Structure 1
């Protein structure tokens, strides 16, 4: 059978659609022919350094032209990409780069010092440290290597569908990082199936403002190249430039995480009347509270999609055609995928009962790199155990209840933070909310709400209002914690464990304060 691989996608577009605009980053605008020549230069520079099939190429880079091109240069060589967050430092860099068996790393002058600090503990050969934006002592200058490299096609690698393309790390802060492996076949499925699900065409213009080192970016990154449309990459997310770029570039498709959507919705310009080219806005990364969904659907009719999924590979997509009828849902599994809701024993639960979401399909990881025991725990008989809780309605639509680890058990009863968050966010003074559990002598655990206010309100008044609107006694919140800014990871997800720590520290200080 002909292998399903991604190494020749760019080459084909350069041959058959050479003059179509392929890539935009700042002032850089490249056609497919121009992009292909530049990527070939990178691929040939990597070959000169000894990079070949199966070798690990790591990046510690923010969004940039070079980071984007690395994805495709590595594919052309059959090498393995290991994209890392540029926010990782110290022990995190050592953990990730060594765990991945990285053979070469690309970074920029801003982040090179952090790598220099840990070089003595890294497995990377001394000559394989490249800096992309100039010259630096002890580093290879990528601009020089690029200038001297050939722009012709490198020899095609002998690839099979299940050959490894990338390793995605979700965290570098622990002593045992998990590298999630994706094959060329999986990325081919991302390209083809998500292009279909999101109605992406060769004439589409896709914009991405989040970091492309995260797997969520691949939801449109891969379809853009598979279909051969224009991909507009921003350096970072800032609401006003995002809105301006949608207008100036005629953007049709964009992904935003919930915290970014909330920020955009604060602008009166974020509406279909001022941004008429938009056909698709995807919310991904965390559940979007219903109040914001409703506001987004009102401003952008027939454009809202929501995706639930894991880097490990199970996905559901809420289509724009049902987003108004199933606002609280994340829809059903995408093509060729299956889903079950199961109890702790792995038995399937009936409609309406909350349990762990498990799934299978063509996006599934082949496992965690060098972690056979953790792989066996997550992947059981072809099913991915997600660690997320949810239930299905009578039509088979999935509704999320939260992370298994975030579940609050109060008086022996399961309390789902999302249910309480949906109530609190309805208060006009609340701009953002996150609910987490704390220990309680009588109940075992009890809910606490962290809030960011849009307008002033007393916390006592807000707590009373919330508890009056909560029907079940066991769901009533114990306390409210005010915060000016929520702790979030680089992907925009709220860190509830940090909120818990902040709450406990606040209580300790209050108890230790003089009366």
Structure 2
């Protein structure tokens, strides 16, 4: 029987004194980490949480969240990680949707939970746990070690490989979040396939800098815990601190979204020497500009990997050995995966022709929780239709073009924002760029850019817009307007929210070209 919760006990038995988890100044061995996980599991069991029940978390990065991640499956319950950035209405909606019977959060969320308790009759006060101590009417469970739960000796509840491990809600860059269901088998594929892809070993040191409520965190977390490697968790991303952690802990593997990679490369304390221990720098979550990939490969050669993937369960991986030869590609499907590029009429496109990326493999979700209608739209005859556009070369490597929903239709001509973004990223003043379509009376839609400048950069919006418009490949790609911003709206995963920027631009009735 495949049971992921047994991983912690395995490492506690066979390498008990090895460091398992590092969070700031706290260093836990496998034996110590297992004891904490057992206490959490005992507490949840004492509250009546049973096999198949949904346990939601609303926590920022902390040691306790890692403990919950392993305690919940050990009692056969189902993880529902939720972002602490959710507003009250959004949180209530997702808790209802998941049917959560227990919520684990912290003191800062008490006012929000108070506000929505009346909307959640299935979630009683004693099943809302504040990990940092007693708050109001909530049960008195202290942060460490999860109250008065019994010490050790917890026996994991048997769980079949096809039973649910978690429900992961999409980060919501488009539309309402959907609950993506992953089984224990799917998460075991994360363990084994990614361990091999990243060349991890039990001696690896894995740093995670982003929010671990984001599914991308599991891309390195699962293989790390499977192998018994060391997991280093940064509470909140800070590029200077991340560089110091890598140097101090001799980190070998890390993954970051493009915005974080760009921030590290631009950090005042960046140096190749400080990051010399790294064997892998993985980019995922959104395309990294080619300009930044080239810089990374020059400064830290033979370390760059890129993952294109969906939480729904299809991936391609650009291996570090191909990152120069296949510049611009997001790699190829791993073993046991298949990929097609599909035209609008359902036929397969040949190499070089853009179509929808469609794939299947052993990590495919079982569906969207409670939404068989949406599941049927996404998975057809066992194939996941991603909603992303791309093409393959003659060797089968994938080149990502854009999201179908991000594509701009200007006078009947298809404009892919990423093409314009790649041009803008070459300007020395540009740190980040996002291009999106806005309504236009004549053309239907027209492209607008939002830009973040590098520190100390001196350029105007009109100058930058002109520079980009002189270099795009076609007249129809020219920007209607460009805005210089202090920061982009982002979701919990660090992804840029183009939809929010487009809505804000249009709500302000737009701006004249070059403004």
Which TM-score tier does this pair reach, normalised by the shorter chain? over 0.9
Q: Distance in 1 between matches of 2:210 and 2:87?
A: 20
TM-score (norm 2): 0.95
Moved more, 472-481 or 418-427: 472-481
- Corresponding residue to 2:22 among 2, 17, 24: 24
TM-score (norm 1): 0.95
What secondary structure sits across from 2:287 in the alignment? coil
Residue 485 of structure 1 aligns with which residue?
A: 487
Alignment partner of 1:136 is 2:138: no
**Alignment RMSD:** 1.8
Q: Distance in 1 between matches of 2:365 and 2:3?
A: 15
What secondary structure sits across from 1:157 in the alignment? coil
Moved more, 135-144 or 20-29: 135-144
Q: Distance in 2 between matches of 1:460 and 1:301?
A: 36
What secondary structure sits across from 1:146 in the alignment? coil
What is the CA distance between 1:153 and its match in structure 2? 3.4
Q: Distance in 1 between matches of 2:114 and 2:171?
A: 21
Shift in CA distance, 471/49, structure 1 to aligned 2, threshold 3 Å: same
Residue 188 of structure 2 aligns with which residue?
A: 188
Residue 254 of structure 1 aligns with which residue?
A: 254
Matches within 5 A, 1:49-448: 49-122=47-120, 123-143=122-142, 146-171=146-171, 177-267=177-267, 269-448=269-448
What is the CA distance between 1:39 and its match in structure 2? 0.5
Contact 1:132 1:141 in 2 (8 A): no
What secondary structure sits across from 1:127 in the alignment? helix
Per-residue Cα deviation, 1:373-406 (whole angstroms, up to 9, x for no partner)? 0011111111111111111111111111111100
What is the CA distance between 1:509 and its match in structure 2? 7.8
Contact 2:244 2:274 in 1 (8 A): no
Contact 1:432 1:452 in 2 (8 A): yes
What secondary structure sits across from 1:259 in the alignment? helix
Can you give the 5+ residue segments of structure 2 that lack an aligned partner in the other structure?
Answer: none
What is the CA distance between 1:268 and its match in structure 2? 5.1
How many pairs does the alignment contain? 509
What is the CA distance between 1:176 and its match in structure 2? 5.6
Moved more, 469-478 or 319-328: 469-478
Contact 1:81 1:166 in 2 (8 A): yes
- Corresponding residue to 1:12 among 10, 13, 23: 10
Contact 1:181 1:369 in 2 (8 A): yes
Q: Distance in 2 between matches of 1:319 and 1:176?
A: 33
Q: Distance in 2 between matches of 1:442 and 1:143?
A: 62
Q: Distance in 2 between matches of 1:22 and 1:180?
A: 28
Contact 1:95 1:176 in 2 (8 A): no
Contact 1:92 1:174 in 2 (8 A): no
